[in-house]
Structure 1
Amino acid sequence: MDDNYFSLNSILADNHKLSCTFTLDVPGLGYLEGGTENDIHQHAKVELPFWLAQTLSLNEFTTFPLPPPYTNRVKSALNASAQSVKLANLVGGNGWWYRWGRRIADVLDDEPQADLLNVLLKAFVNRLPALQDLAAHHASADHTLPENSTSSGEAFRDGMEGDERELFAIGQESGKLSKGWYDSNSGRKGGR
Structure 2
Amino acid sequence: MGYYDIDDVLTDSAEIPCTFNHTIPGLGFLQGNPGKSINKNTRVTLPLWMSRMLAMVGGEEDGEDIPFVELNTPTVFSQKVINAIRASPTSLDIHSLYGHYYDMAIKWIGLFEDEKFAEICSELLLQRSIEINAHANSVMLNIHSNHRPSNLKYSGSNKGPTTIQQVTPFLFDIRRI
TM-score under structure 1 length normalisation: 0.68
Matched, 1:78 2:81: no
Alpha-carbon contact 1:22-1:43 (below 8 Å) kept:
yes
Which residue does 2:137 correspond to in 1? 136
Letter in 1 for 2:85: L
State the 1:146 CA deviation: 8.1
SS in 1 for 2:39: coil
Letter in 2 for 1:114: E
**Bigger Rg over Cα:** 2
Structure 2: runs of 5+ lacking an equivalent: 58-66, 150-166
Match of 1:98 among 91, 96, 102: 102
Please state which structure has a larger fraction of its residues in helix. Answer: 1
Please state which structure has a larger fraction of its residues in strand. Answer: 2
CA distance in 2, matches of 1:122, 1:84: 13
SS in 1 for 2:46: strand
Percentage of identical aligned residues = 21
What is the root-mean-square deviation in Å for CA atoms of aligned residues?
Answer: 2.5
State the 1:37 CA deviation: 5.1
SS in 2 for 1:106: helix
Which residue does 2:157 correspond to in 1? none
Which residue does 1:30 correspond to in 2? 28
- Number of residues of Structure 1 aligned to a counterpart in Structure 2: 147
Alpha-carbon contact 1:83-1:126 (below 8 Å) kept:
yes
State the 1:73 CA deviation: 1.4
SS in 1 for 2:111: coil
Letter in 2 for 1:123: L
Distance change (3 Å), C-alpha of 1:30 and 1:85: same
